[in-house]
Amino acid sequence: MKQKLLGLALVAFTASAAFSQTLFSTREAKFATGDNSDYKSAEYDDASWRKIDVSRVWDNQGVPADTRHGWYRIHFTPSKADLGKASLKQYLIVDLGTVDDVDRTYLNGKPIGATGSLPSDEGGYRSQWYTPRRYFIPVDDKNIRWDKDNVLAVHCYSGGEPGGMFGQGVSVRVAGIADIASLSCVPAEVKGSPGCKVELKGNLPSSISGKLKLDLVDIRDGKVLSSTVRKISAGNGKTADVEVPVGDNENTVLLATFTETKSGQELKARYEPRYILTPVAPEAPRFNTAAVYGVRPGSPVHFRFGVSGVKPMTFLSKDLPEGLQLNAENGALSGRLMKDGEYTFTVTAKNAKGMAAQTFTLYVGDDKMALTPPMGWNSWNCWGLSVTQDKVMSSAKAMIDKGLADYGYSYVNIDDAWEAPERAADGTIVVNEKFPDMKGLGDWLHSNGLKFGIYSSPGDLTCGAYLGSLDHEKQDAESYNSWGIDYLKYDWCGYSQKHNKERDKETLASYIRPYMLMEKYLREQPRDIFYSLCQYGWQDVWKWGRMVDANSWRTTGDITDTWGSLYEIGFNSQAGLAPYAGPGGWNDPDMLIVGKVGWSDKLRDSRLTANEQYTHISLWALLAANMLIGCDMSQLDDFTINLLCNNEVNAINQDVLGRQADRAVEDGNIQIWTRPLADGTMAIGVFNLGEEGMDVNLAKYFGQLGIGKLNSVRDLWRQTDLDTANPSWFIPRHGVRLLKVNAE
Ligand code: GAL
């Protein structure tokens, strides 16, 4: 865990250091243990102190692992002449690397930064070991002793577990523009048309002025289509923003360059228009969901036929099996079937513009759950721990009102932070004040044909430090049943405490045990509960998820809305997992990072570009991944709705053969992932993971793809048939062509 984060910190460091001038760097310090504030003074005599390496935690260097307080002293002489060489002279950055856990840092006796809380602080000890320590000092601060000895003193508190400084070492540099300001583009409507807001933010109390150049460029040949230059300034808590219309042409990109006046240092940002590819749905009814669904015998059926078209719409079935009901207004199927079997019937949907019919099979059997991957919503990527029942409800309503339910989205899942701090006297789990009526919420969802999901942990605490299910598994499963829960995400997290103490903790059995236990009680409930394992892919969970009756298992750590995360989780971590997914049990590369996300009560637009979002949804469709929308659905914009509601793209995800895609080609930046489909055709994603757009000719890869001759090629996003004689396309940076191919 630590190593992984450290890697990321280093990447960020290199990117922002491009313009900065290093004054000093070292891996060596003087070190003493104890909690003595005299140690911060520049004059303190540390001649007798031992030496220590600041790039490795102290317990690797002969310091007892249970040491709590340690002091590092680093002497350095900053050169005024070196400062003179820097083009921007506003701040020095003192970069300590990483500190496990808490630090109080001083320059020549004066505090310059602090991270985390000490036991003596209000609120007590709070670890922040994962936060990189970078402290800023204005270059004109009189406390800096230019061309003389300076002392950087770092008081480090470890909480009694292994600790100390670690990472890339300590450096002092002159901040570059990227350290003190940032330039970004966020989607915005500009005078009624699609555009973006270019924002220059100054992160520190200083002012930044310069020129902002805005070029609209054709991505195919680099030609500048239009260009403007503006003077802007930001800083001192002020953000400068410029609104720019960019249109919705998929072949253009806005390149923004800010040049700081005095130093000539530059910041760059780019913005891809959020172009919509999905054709407008017909006004007449159209069935968009797979024609199969499965339940266990005796379990309540909660299913909604996904049909687009103008409303109102009426649903009817003349050959509905006894025991089932179809809601004529919303297409919700309910009831129970007690006997195993395949129940085939026809459902028609009618509106003012026409009629459509679907022949549908309901499979009833012990092994018939999750015949296709789950589609729905989860509160985590938007609301994080700030989730409330109202927020869940507003997304659930939007699922219906904005038409997502017409495309098969049906699960409404509450993630962490619904639990009260204490159980009832009899041990029953209690909801917190943010969730006044779980049963009412479940009933509302079910009456609309939607499904209800919840989150817990096999540990005593969840990842968000709410109550987990440890030693209360049976009671919790029963509570879930009483609220009408249809989906449980069971997140390892706090279980580590118990696991670490187990004698057989090295064995696979010890990882499987908590999941087996909960499954036993879920199975005892008189309803189907989709069982979603979350333990970040440990112990190759895809190899044993089915053994514990799970319906999906997370294959990686948490996703976030950056290309780096999408690349790592979507492309790097999924290759080779295809054999383990199929009807009943799916690999889960985590939730969708489109729309307004934020993991808190502060939401922002996903930082993925338009092409990265097409790549994301295409890949999740190919991977037969859980399609759980992670944004606030009440704020869905047209681009995101069209991204999530393309019936031909979603049909790949929901294909009843249930074969996950695997990587068939890796050729430089080009990757091709393929997935066989139930109708004998093949879904193909041609991805360009590179930084520049390029032409890709599919014919080059026919050998690797096992294609002799192309009979038809369909572009699924555009829903058009392409020329089989010339299967060559321009694929933009981080972009995709998602195809359905009939080939010999
Ligand atoms: C993480 C999990 C996230 C989210 C979070 C809640 O461990 O991977 O998806 O559920 O816990 O605290």
- Per-residue pLDDT tens digits for 710-722: 999 999 999 999 9
Looking at residue 19, its pLDDT comes to 67
491 catalytic residue (yes or no): yes
Indicate the angle between helix axes 438-447 and 473-483, nearest 10 degrees.
50
Residue 456, ligand 1, Cβ within 6 A: no
Which DSSP helix (H) or strand (E) runs through 498? helix 495-500
Which DSSP helix (H) or strand (E) runs through 52? strand 50-53
For the CA of 536, the nearest atom of ligand 1: 8
Catalytic residue, candidates 558, 637, 662, 715: 558
Residue 491, ligand 1, Cβ within 6 A: yes
* Overall average pLDDT of the 343-355 stretch: 98
What is the fold of 375-462+474-496+518-653? TIM Barrel (3.20.20)
What's the rounded Cα separation, in Å, for the pair 667 and 683? 19
Whether the bond between 245 and the residue before it is cis, its omega within 30 degrees of 0, is no
CATH number for the region 663-743 comes to 2.60.40.1180
Residue nearest ligand 1's atom 8 by CA: 558
Looking at residue 614, its pLDDT comes to 98
What's the rounded Cα separation, in Å, for the pair 214 and 227? 6
pLDDT digits (tens, 9 = 90+) for 45-71: 999 999 999 999 998 899 998 899 999
What is the fold of 21-175? Jelly Rolls (2.60.120)
What's the rounded Cα separation, in Å, for the pair 641 and 625? 19
Which DSSP helix (H) or strand (E) runs through 665? strand 662-667
Residue 100, ligand 1, Cβ within 6 A: no
Architecture of the structural domain at 179-271: Sandwich (2.60)
Domain boundaries, the chain: 21-175, 179-271, 286-364, 375-462+474-496+518-653, 663-743
Q: Which of 4-18, 327-341, 379-393 has the lowest mean pLDDT?
A: 4-18
pTM: 0.90
Residue 380, ligand 1, Cβ within 6 A: yes
Q: In the predicted model, is pLDDT for residue 12 greater than 60?
A: no
Residue nearest ligand 1's atom 3 by CA: 558
Helix residue ranges per DSSP H, 345-437: 380-383, 389-401
User: 143: pLDDT confidence band, cut at 50, 70 and 90?
Assistant: very high
User: Cα(388) to centroid of ligand 1, in Å?
Assistant: 16
Dihedral angle over CA of 724, 726, 727, 732, nearest 10: -140
User: Cα(357) to centroid of ligand 1, in Å?
Assistant: 40
Residue 462, ligand 1, Cβ within 6 A: yes
In the chain, % of residues over pLDDT 70: 97
Q: In the predicted model, is pLDDT for residue 444 greater than 60?
A: yes
pLDDT digits (tens, 9 = 90+) for 157-166: 998 877 899 9
Pocket test for ligand 1, best of 377, 454, 534 (most atoms within 8 A of CB): 534
Q: In the predicted model, is pLDDT for residue 205 greater than 90?
A: no
- Mention every residue, 6+ apart, whose C-beta is less than 8 A from residue 698: 684, 686, 705, 713, 727, 728, 739
Q: In the predicted model, is pLDDT for residue 2 greater than 90?
A: no
Looking at residue 392, its pLDDT comes to 98
Q: How many CA atoms lie within 13 A of 114 on its CB side?
A: 10
Instruction: Tell which phi-psi region holds residue 175, choosing left (phi > 0), alpha (psi between -120 and 50) or beta.
Output: beta
Residue nearest ligand 1's atom 9 by CA: 558
Residue 493, ligand 1, Cβ within 6 A: yes
User: 4: pLDDT confidence band, cut at 50, 70 and 90?
Assistant: very low
* Overall average pLDDT of the 90-119 stretch: 96
What's the rounded Cα separation, in Å, for the pair 394 and 539? 38
Residue 588, ligand 1, Cβ within 6 A: no
User: Cα(348) to centroid of ligand 1, in Å?
Assistant: 40
Q: Are strands 530-534 and 487-491 parallel, antiparallel or unpaired?
A: parallel
Pocket test for ligand 1, best of 380, 383, 456, 560 (most atoms within 8 A of CB): 380
Residue 533, ligand 1, Cβ within 6 A: no
* Overall average pLDDT of the 18-29 stretch: 88
Whether the domain at 286-364 and the domain at 663-743 fall into the same CATH topology: yes
What is the fold of 286-364? Immunoglobulin-like (2.60.40)
C-beta separation of 20 from 176 below 8 A: yes
What's the rounded Cα separation, in Å, for the pair 398 and 310? 16
Average pLDDT in the chain:
95
User: Cα(373) to centroid of ligand 1, in Å?
Assistant: 20
DSSP 280: P
pLDDT digits (tens, 9 = 90+) for 354-407: 999 999 999 999 999 999 999 999 999 999 999 999 999 999 999 999 999 999
User: Cα(600) to centroid of ligand 1, in Å?
Assistant: 13
221 catalytic residue (yes or no): no
User: Cα(491) to centroid of ligand 1, in Å?
Assistant: 7
| One-letter-per-residue 3-state SS of 430-491 | CECCCCCCHHHHHHHHHHCCCEEEEEECCCCECCCCCECCCCCHHHHHHHHHHHCCCEEEEE
Q: In the predicted model, is pLDDT for residue 235 greater than 70?
A: yes
Residue 362, ligand 1, Cβ within 6 A: no
Count Cβ atoms within 10 A of the Cβ of residue 263 and give its class: 0-12 exposed, 13-18 middle, 19 or more buried.
Answer: middle
C-beta separation of 662 from 704 below 8 A: no
What's the rounded Cα separation, in Å, for the pair 741 and 55? 53
Residue nearest ligand 1's atom 7 by CA: 463
